[in-house]
Structure 1
Amino acid sequence: MEYSRITNINNPLFKQMHQLMQDVFPPEEVLEFDLWKEPLEDPGIRVFVAVLDGKVVGATEYRYYEDFNVAMTDFTIIGQAGLGIGPFLAQKRLVDLHELAAANGKTLSGMFAEIYDPYRVDHYEFGGVKPMDPYVRREVLAHLGYKRLDFSYVHPSWNNDGEAVTGLDLCFLPMDVEAHELETDLIVKFLKRYYTVLPSRPESWYTMIENLEAKEKVDLLYF
């Protein structure tokens, strides 16, 4: 299996990856094909696919913020079970992120990720791929060391229509396994930076930010 970076919308592997996203994710979570041009060319956004026999069988997008010294996993896609795609992507991604942090003169402090809460959202099939089932994914994140940030999370729809997407938790993987809380200043700065690309945000998103700004720290909880 190969770990191949995509930096151009004309890369033949990107068409396969975008189709895989449509097969797996709900429509509001998939950015239109043409709108990927700038993100793919952005050196700070890292899009990699797992390629087996010329076919894209998995993908992950993530980014490293040098000034925050944290990463964000935008998504991980496992195209089919039984190939070890999940561990392959997770391991390759972490090696890459540690190298990016080292080049920044630091040791990676942690990584954000979003995850559906299957107890609130249970109607998505995720392409019928069992490893993508929210119950399974939450268990995988828990085993990797992720913890749930203790606040009601809202994110703007990737359709950029100002609609709120709920039923998700924002999680964080601390490299310090003993960490049990996270400073809200980091969370707020990260969220404002991350969603700059979506100018149309619901009022509930701004309310969430205001509530966070009123606190100093947020607890990291087990799933």
Structure 2
Amino acid sequence: MEYIRITSIDDPLFKQMHQLMQNIFPPEEVLEFELWREPLEDPGIRVFVAVHEGKVVGATEYRYYENFNVAMTDFTIIGEAGLGIGPFLANKRADDLKALAETNGKQLFGMFAEIYDPYRVEHYEFGGVKPMDPYVRREVLSHLGYRRLDFPYVHPSWNNDGQAVEGLDLSFLTIDPEVNEIKAELVVAFLKRYYTVLPNKPQKWLDMIANLETEETVALKPF
């Protein structure tokens, strides 16, 4: 299996990846094809695909923020079961982020990830691929060491229509497992930067940020 970076929507592998995203994720979670052009050309956004026998069978997007010394996993897609795609992507991503942090003269502090909470929302469609089932994904993140940031979370819809997407948690993986809370100002700064690309922020998101700005720390809790 190959781990190949995508830097242009003109790459034939990107067309496969975007179709895979549409097959897996709900519509409000998938950025339009043409709107990917600028993000893919951004050197700070790292999009890689897992290619097996010439076919895109998985993908991951993530980014490393030098000034925060944290990363964000935007998504991980497993397109087929039985190929070991999940561990392959996770290990390759970890190696890449370790190298990026070392280039920055640091050891990575941790990594954010959004995760669906199937215990709050009855039904999610994920293309019928069992490894993408939200119960499975939640347990996998838990096993990797991610924990839920203890506050009610919403995010702006990627349709940029000003709607709030609920039924998710924001989670964080600390490289040091003894860390049980992180600074609220880090969470606020990260979220403001991460969602800069979406100008139409829902009021629920703005209220969430305002509440976080009154806190000093945010606790990390098990899923």
Alignment of 1:100-111 (within 5 A): 100-111=100-111
Amino acid of the structure 2 residue aligned with 1:55:
K
User: What corresponds to 1:81 in structure 2?
Assistant: 81
Contact kept? 2:118, 2:124, Cα under 8 Å: no
User: What corresponds to 1:216 in structure 2?
Assistant: 216
Long gaps (5+) in structure 2: none
Q: State the alpha-carbon separation in 2 of the partners of residues 133 and 20 from structure 1.
A: 15
Cα root mean square deviation, aligned:
0.5
Q: Could you report, residue by residue, the CA deviation over 1:29-72 in whole angstroms, capped at 9, with x for unpaired residues?
A: 00000000000000000000000000000000000000000000
User: What corresponds to 2:165 in structure 1?
Assistant: 165
Q: Could you report, residue by residue, the CA deviation over 1:5-42 in whole angstroms, capped at 9, with x for unpaired residues?
A: 00011000000000000000000000000000000000
The normalised TM-score by structure 1 is 0.99
Q: State the alpha-carbon separation in 2 of the partners of residues 30 and 151 from structure 1.
A: 25
Q: State the alpha-carbon separation in 2 of the partners of residues 183 and 132 from structure 1.
A: 31
Alignment of 1:174-189 (within 5 A): 174-189=174-189
Contact kept? 2:46, 2:63, Cα under 8 Å: yes
Instruction: Give the drift of 1:125.
Output: 2.2
Alignment of 1:1-223 (within 5 A): 1-223=1-223
What secondary structure, in the 3-state scheme, does the structure 1 residue paired with 2:200 have? coil
What secondary structure, in the 3-state scheme, does the structure 2 residue paired with 1:126 have? coil
Instruction: Give the drift of 1:124.
Output: 1.4
Q: State the alpha-carbon separation in 2 of the partners of residues 6 and 213 from structure 1.
A: 36
Q: State the alpha-carbon separation in 1 of the partners of residues 216 and 176 from structure 2.
A: 19
Instruction: Give the drift of 1:121.
Output: 2.0
What secondary structure, in the 3-state scheme, does the structure 1 residue paired with 2:94 have? helix
What secondary structure, in the 3-state scheme, does the structure 2 residue paired with 1:119 have? coil
Instruction: Give the drift of 1:122.
Output: 2.9
Amino acid of the structure 1 residue aligned with 2:136:
V
Q: State the alpha-carbon separation in 2 of the partners of residues 199 and 125 from structure 1.
A: 27
Amino acid of the structure 1 residue aligned with 2:12:
P
Q: State the alpha-carbon separation in 2 of the partners of residues 205 and 50 from structure 1.
A: 33
Aligned pair count reads: 223
